[in-house]
Structure 1
């Protein structure tokens, strides 16, 4: 029997609504308006926004974007930690028929500039405390004679905020929430939701530098529907509360907190970042029923001694994603939560990627086999096909054999933004997206066993080796290098490097600490070489010149 699978319970499939010419936001608002008393809370400020106000803000923000001249095809970049207005800007962009590109708030100026340029962003919505990053990007842009922004909107602008950057006047984001002549403006364009792009998150894909992932309105409508409309995957209502600690610039956090919970009327507690005590205190204070996390947070909840001081008894559903969670870790977490009073808690894993909008598989809530629920990535979502193919022949492997996981379904991205070659290398002619993850299906379980792709996963973040290698190679003493991931107890994987120094460079004059600092000054914290640097004489490569990362990784395991 070949390794080909799809959602089995055909009788329970509810067709995805045919969108016509409606945006994702039209679907979202139709759902959210049913729950006017559900809410978002910014736990860092203890500010609450009811869904009735959320809807109003979204409609006003969209109207003002249209009034400012934004139209279909324009891109706005959003750079902020989790906050109440993140979902406002997110959904308003859909309603206005414009593209939104969320950027990592810990980016350096150089990284922000890269995303602004590749996405073709016309304007930027940015948190006040991140303006120094924009100023850094402007300095780099001046050298390259690039970066043209029409407008800059600042979240939480205050009296200490500069009035202009790069000749552009800074406007408070709140200006976009004002009434527009006592009416809600509509976009002039006619939308084609199955082909028009809404979101442009960035991902490195299976290899290379970060690329814009073109997700259409229908991609998100389909994936939200595939997940949120099935109680066996997502049992949420107005009495449900989730603590949102995952960053919303990342598709995992954006999808769960910004889209799925609201359409089912679930309440969302937002945290701007992970701080152990604040995380635990929020779970206790708001009686959180759902916790969606990454493996390092699962380890924190199962091992940190501070957990015993907090009441977690209301937690019913824990989902771990973005990297594999070991069966033993899941069992340990279940035992800890049971001791805290959450005796019926379900712990399960999900799998997907940005290119899948982002979800493809998930453990079912009614799964009774604890080893299957804890140890595997679950089952395909409705209307999702999965096959496992041989790495060499690309033929479907036999049941139980290992191969690359491929996915086909309505959530598969349109492609990489303005990058046809990268798209062709990822989505084949039959519509199968090649994930780069290696796995197998055995004993009715999907297991992730390895990664074909070069990406390093650190605390749920993607790190592209090519990006770090490019930085290392700008150092005057570096001849060649290879970046790879090594297992790390708290990070999951730590970016590590093997470096060949230029001929005649004494090792004593260039240290691993110096090179690590060189890289650290140019990248976000999670991209730093926490796994260390090794000096070697030669980088192993194939005859065609491709770096053999797996060889080096195996050498230093």
Structure 2
């Protein structure tokens, strides 16, 4: 559906939404002051006052158009205020993941030549103080929270957000004319933000996204997905990532939707019950956890309960695939007996989920669709602002990332000779194009301007004809894009066979015994895996079967446990081609996480880190060959 206001820049978007709701008590954002408090709402009038104060302060601190201002923070209201103020004054938002260590923060601050640095908690302030002297252009650090350690605020370059807001409010009359001038001067071609890659290979690179890049993507998202002013979004993916920035923030504002901030990624389940969102933007990991929890509970139930659940799932699948008549009556019964309980656990108001950032296993997507919780899976990169394709509501095809969005053209390039063998634009509907696999390319207004101060990397990514090379392999199937895997993730075995680990790993994620799995076997005679068990299920099994153990490590060494996983791996491997089958594995006592370095902040696996960290286990697997 169309956006609620017209706009060509993010500055326009904010100005026009504020004008629309200025004389109402329309909620813009909501947050929880503490875990025990209910959500507190903020109106657009209040947002305008706060944003204008911070914008005036930025001008007062001599922030010019095109200057960089950095934010190191979890998702919260202040993040939005600072970002909108940055857009108002024509500066550039440089966002940092809250999980970054000080050294990486210093690199991004220095590389971007950021002048001001907004940080959230005392933990983030500590990082800022640690790196301040390394960053030549940095003049000031502004903390959202008042630090508990008095030493921090005794630094003359550290200011508190509330103090800065008050100073900005006082300076408003002095800078009002300049602020209006900058709002008018902001152009669609101006850079709005630098989004740095997670740096899994080499130094992070700052993708320059212009107002036009993001605005075109927001409008195309609204063409494909219904977002309106009666919607409410729960925000928890990092705002410094382009997926949440465009999909869970700007697109929501453009629809007049309310944005409720989760307290953290760990509290999403509870916050859904409190916020009652209609839209949740997430990565597959959330859906995998819900799926595994539900199926685990079903398997622990009686034979009758399992039978009812399986019947309900079958009815739900037939219904979402278009069957009606008697199926409609059966679906009502299935909802009452089974699915309404699941819907209540998501807050009871979900209209649809949006999934991106990584591949959603088709079986898990089909489960949610059958339950009446639609998932709209999409695809894109930071460098494409980010959306290239997405499934439309009522036209979902699990296992694909849907059709190309309006204004964008997606191409498939043969890996062997760089020939473009197929392409589709967002306006080419209906289309039944099916192609062979190749590298996925993008061309359109969503293509980034380039990498900040890195022309060589820009030219490697975007060719002379304007095609952006994603590094992903995929193909068109009946006009929809199907992703295979990353080119760099491809494993070449000893026999020269090309194996993409992503689809194999996705298949294993439906096992109740397996939480995480990474396929290994480069230049080896067969494939193997590093497996993180579902520890809750495993420990429950040990208790029920009187298996004693002193630690998780000790439990994983038990012959009965190894045999259990051997059986599970063999069972799943039956579905794979001979050269793809998992023929050996090792069990890991600790899950992959952002904190321990194996996952990116958007929960993608860092294969190189895992292969280095567990190299001794991989060597042990293949040492006898």
> Which range, TM-score by smaller chain?
0.7 to 0.9
Residue number in structure 2 paired with 1:259: 250
Cα gap change, 1:388/1:167 in structure 2, threshold over 3 Å: closer, same or farther? same
Cα gap change, 1:534/1:423 in structure 2, threshold over 3 Å: closer, same or farther? same
User: Any conservation in 1 of the 2:70–2:109 contact (CA below 8 Å)?
Assistant: yes
Rounded to whole Å, the distance in 1 between the matches of 2:239 and 2:618 is 42
Matches within 5 A, 1:519-534: 529=609, 532-534=613-615
State the Cα deviation string for residues 133-164 of structure 1 (Å, max 9, x = none): 224435xx6xxx55442011111224635345
Residue number in structure 1 paired with 2:404: 380
Bigger helix fraction: 2
1:33 equivalenced with 2:22 (yes/no): no
Residue number in structure 2 paired with 1:352: 380
1:405 equivalenced with 2:440 (yes/no): yes
1:361 equivalenced with 2:350 (yes/no): no
1:329 equivalenced with 2:343 (yes/no): no
Residue number in structure 2 paired with 1:50: 43
For the residue of structure 2 that corresponds to 1:360, the secondary structure is: strand
1:152 equivalenced with 2:145 (yes/no): no
1:296 equivalenced with 2:288 (yes/no): no
TM-score (structure 2 length as normaliser) = 0.66
Q: How far off its partner does 1:33 sit?
A: 3.5
Rounded to whole Å, the distance in 1 between the matches of 2:150 and 2:19 is 35
Structure (1 or 2) with the larger CA radius of gyration: 2
1:186 equivalenced with 2:178 (yes/no): yes
For the residue of structure 1 that corresponds to 2:13, the secondary structure is: helix
Bigger strand fraction: 1
Where structure 2 has 5 or more consecutive residues not aligned to the other structure, the ranges are 298-340, 423-433, 492-500, 523-587
Residue number in structure 1 paired with 2:120: 127
Cα gap change, 1:201/1:69 in structure 2, threshold over 3 Å: closer, same or farther? same
Q: How far off its partner does 1:269 sit?
A: 1.1
Q: 1:90 aligns with which of 75, 80, 83?
A: 83
User: Any conservation in 2 of the 1:39–1:48 contact (CA below 8 Å)?
Assistant: yes
Q: How far off its partner does 1:529 sit?
A: 4.3
Cα gap change, 1:300/1:29 in structure 2, threshold over 3 Å: closer, same or farther? farther
TM-score (structure 1 length as normaliser) = 0.74
CA RMSD across the alignment: 3.9
Q: How far off its partner does 1:206 sit?
A: 9.9
Rounded to whole Å, the distance in 2 between the matches of 1:204 and 1:433 is 19
Rounded to whole Å, the distance in 1 between the matches of 2:43 and 2:455 is 42
Residue number in structure 2 paired with 1:395: 419
Matches within 5 A, 1:417-432: 417-432=452-467
Q: How far off its partner does 1:521 sit?
A: 8.9
Q: How far off its partner does 1:494 sit?
A: 5.9
For the residue of structure 1 that corresponds to 2:178, the secondary structure is: coil
For the residue of structure 2 that corresponds to 1:61, the secondary structure is: helix
For the residue of structure 2 that corresponds to 1:162, the secondary structure is: helix
Q: How far off its partner does 1:280 sit?
A: 2.3
User: Any conservation in 2 of the 1:216–1:414 contact (CA below 8 Å)?
Assistant: yes
Cα gap change, 1:161/1:423 in structure 2, threshold over 3 Å: closer, same or farther? farther
Cα gap change, 1:182/1:108 in structure 2, threshold over 3 Å: closer, same or farther? closer
Matches within 5 A, 1:75-224: 75-129=68-122, 130-138=124-132, 146-158=135-147, 160-163=149-152, 168-172=157-161, 174-176=163-165, 178-183=168-173, 184-187=176-179, 191=185, 193-203=187-197, 208-224=202-218
Equivalent residues, number? 464
Q: How far off its partner does 1:333 sit?
A: 2.4
Q: How far off its partner does 1:393 sit?
A: 1.9
State the Cα deviation string for residues 16-70 of structure 1 (Å, max 9, x = none): 9784xxx521233203432341231113633321122112222221121112110
Q: How far off its partner does 1:255 sit?
A: 1.7
For the residue of structure 1 that corresponds to 2:420, the secondary structure is: coil
Q: 2:485 aligns with which of 429, 450, 468?
A: 450
Q: How far off its partner does 1:327 sit?
A: 0.9
User: Any conservation in 2 of the 1:326–1:375 contact (CA below 8 Å)?
Assistant: yes
1:235 equivalenced with 2:221 (yes/no): no
Rounded to whole Å, the distance in 2 between the matches of 1:285 and 1:313 is 10
For the residue of structure 2 that corresponds to 1:411, the secondary structure is: coil
1:63 equivalenced with 2:49 (yes/no): no
